[in-house]
Structure 1
Amino acid sequence: MKLKSLLLATLFATGLTTAQAAEGELSIGTEGAYPPWSMADAVGNVTGFDADVGNLLCAKLEMKCQFVVQAFDGLIPALKAKRFDIIISGMSITEDRKKEINFSIGYAELANMFVAPKTSDLAGIKDFDSLIKALDGRKVGVQAGTTHAHYLEKNAPNADLKTYDTLDQMQIDLASGRVDTAFSDASAMEDFLAKPEGKDFQLVDVKIASSSDPTLGEGIGVGIAQENTELKARIDKALCELVADGSIGKASQTWFKTDISRPCK
């Protein structure tokens, strides 16, 4: 009994659960409906950049990955409820989120863009101030609970925001004309343009860097429970190594056709 108690105390002190230590498994919460970051099939198999990062991280930590699919706006509550150990879901590091959970170092960053019909006056705008002014009264689609939604609430208060649980739902309304434009990261918008329903749309030529506003965060990070300080230290070290050796850059080239990895600071 004393030995068992000592083992449990050691596990909790290191921030690892008994199940993790016994099975060498790391459970990862991810949305599964945000291509090309995270896509889940009918039986729960997850692919995409987030899955690649998770698998690289697990290999570096010598643990087995288990992905748990969860709606994006439920990821942080589910992590706090210990439904999984970490979040890897294209999640930007923001001050508001840091009040709820801890984050790894930022390991990736991607520009954010609007998409609009080619026939819309929005399509020809090329500067930020004109774009924000043109959003007044327009129906703008964003995914609920994202930095994109918070960014527009702050910077385009006169826009008519329409929020969606998933990226697919937002894109359906965009294609059908129920919203005038939509805002997300550039990769998600390019994914929409590559679909048949995106043929009559184009990116608005105004790139908004995540570093341009605190609401867009400090890069993409791994979400970690606040008490798991030892796990955070191990993940930070592993991510720095994976960025430095080009592994995360290579994965991002696969999914985004560009290197979005972010060097450790």
Structure 2
Amino acid sequence: MHKSLRTFVLSMTGALALCASIPGHAQSSDLLARVKANKEITVGTEARYAPFESIENGKIVGYDADLLQYVLKSLPDVKLKQLDLPFQGLLPGLDAKRFDMVITAVTVNKDRASHFAFTLPIADATAGVLVRSNEASIKSPNDLNGKIVGSQTGSAQLQALMTLDKNLKAAGGPGIKQIKQYVAFDEAYADLAVGRLDAVAQSVSNLGPLLKSRPGVFTLLPQSIGPKSYFAWVARKDTDSATLLKLFSDGIARANHDGTMKALQMKWFGTTMDVPADAMPEPSM
């Protein structure tokens, strides 16, 4: 072999061996290994979804924030980088690898579960109907015929509302007069309070703290809409993310079993809810 070519080959061989020995360059490393090597994890959050997430004194606080800190005890040397984004950008951003996981309350449904991987459940996501406390014409979901109802764009609660509309029409009613979509639920609550909406479809777990903070303004219908469902956190559905997803699910399972989850639910919701501790039930919607 020509001397210069032989020198080049030896140099490249040495360089490749060096790269393979450096953490983060090994071909066998996955997302969890890179997170540990870089000492940073980046997550996407919607911080306008109290009591799961909200901004207080410039910090993201809430049920998810506290549960996340508990889970991250398994990564003691890893710094958290949390991006606050509209809900509609979270799953596309995860797909585009803008962050490692979505840490916000995402309702598990069939469509999402076919494309993304979910942790164990963190809370009940079953949808309910919020109305003004002085609203006399709406006593059950069937009374939403001819009404204007709001929910969040891209949410599972919006999906449940659209299904209700189809069922009302199938039963011979006119169906919901208009379904208004909002970037955030806070905007829908404001429109409901001043009469621009007749009702809002939202998860029951979110509505308890809202009712407590706005006494006499709103009330919750006793019947839910849609099937039993759960909130969870989200990872990409690939082998690269599998070990990181398991670390998070294991942490959630510990929180469920040791009482931490119930304590955080009482702190942020004012009540507790039973969620499966060992497996995510198959979504029915």
Q: TM-score, normalising length from structure 2?
A: 0.79
Write the mapping of 1:8-87 to structure 2, written as runs, cut at 5 A.
8=24, 10=26, 13-16=29-32, 18=34, 20-41=35-56, 43=58, 45-62=59-76, 63-87=78-102
Give 4+ residue runs of structure 1 displaced > 6 Å after superposition. Answer: none
* 1:181 and 2:199 correspond: yes
Question: Which residue number corresponds to residue 236 of structure 2?
Answer: 225
Superposed displacement of residue 115, structure 1 = 1.6
Superposed displacement of residue 110, structure 1 = 4.5
Superposed displacement of residue 41, structure 1 = 4.2
Percent identity between the two aligned chains: 23
* 1:258 and 2:271 correspond: yes
The correspondence for 2:121, drawn from 106, 119, 136, is: 106
1:194/1:242 CA distance change after superposition, 3 Å: closer
Equivalenced residue count is 250
1:253/1:103 CA distance change after superposition, 3 Å: same
Superposed displacement of residue 12, structure 1 = 5.9
1:122/1:86 CA distance change after superposition, 3 Å: farther
Write the mapping of 1:185-196 to structure 2, written as runs, cut at 5 A.
185-196=203-214
RMSD (Å) for aligned C-alpha atoms: 2.3
Q: Letter of the aligned partner of 1:72 in structure 2?
A: F
Aligned residue for 2:124, secondary structure, equals coil
Question: Which residue number corresponds to residue 214 of structure 1?
Answer: none
Aligned residue for 1:116, secondary structure, equals strand
Cα distance between partner residues in 1 of 2:274 and 2:40: 25
Question: Which residue number corresponds to residue 128 of structure 1?
Answer: none
Contact 2:125-2:204 within 8 A present in 1 as well: yes
Question: Which residue number corresponds to residue 202 of structure 1?
Answer: 219
Q: Letter of the aligned partner of 1:78 in structure 2?
A: G
Q: Deviations over 1:11-54 (max 9, x none)?
A: 76423374x233422222110001111002474x2000011111
Q: TM-score, normalising length from structure 1?
A: 0.85
Q: Letter of the aligned partner of 2:39 in structure 1?
A: G
1:153/1:183 CA distance change after superposition, 3 Å: same
Contact 2:209-2:270 within 8 A present in 1 as well: no
Q: Letter of the aligned partner of 2:147 in structure 1?
A: R
Cα distance between partner residues in 2 of 1:12 and 1:85: 18
Superposed displacement of residue 96, structure 1 = 0.8
Question: Which residue number corresponds to residue 250 of structure 2?
Answer: 237
Aligned residue for 2:231, secondary structure, equals coil
Question: Which residue number corresponds to residue 169 of structure 1?
Answer: 187
Aligned residue for 1:178, secondary structure, equals coil
Unaligned 5+ runs, structure 1: 126-130, 212-216
Unaligned 5+ runs, structure 2: 1-14, 167-174, 280-285
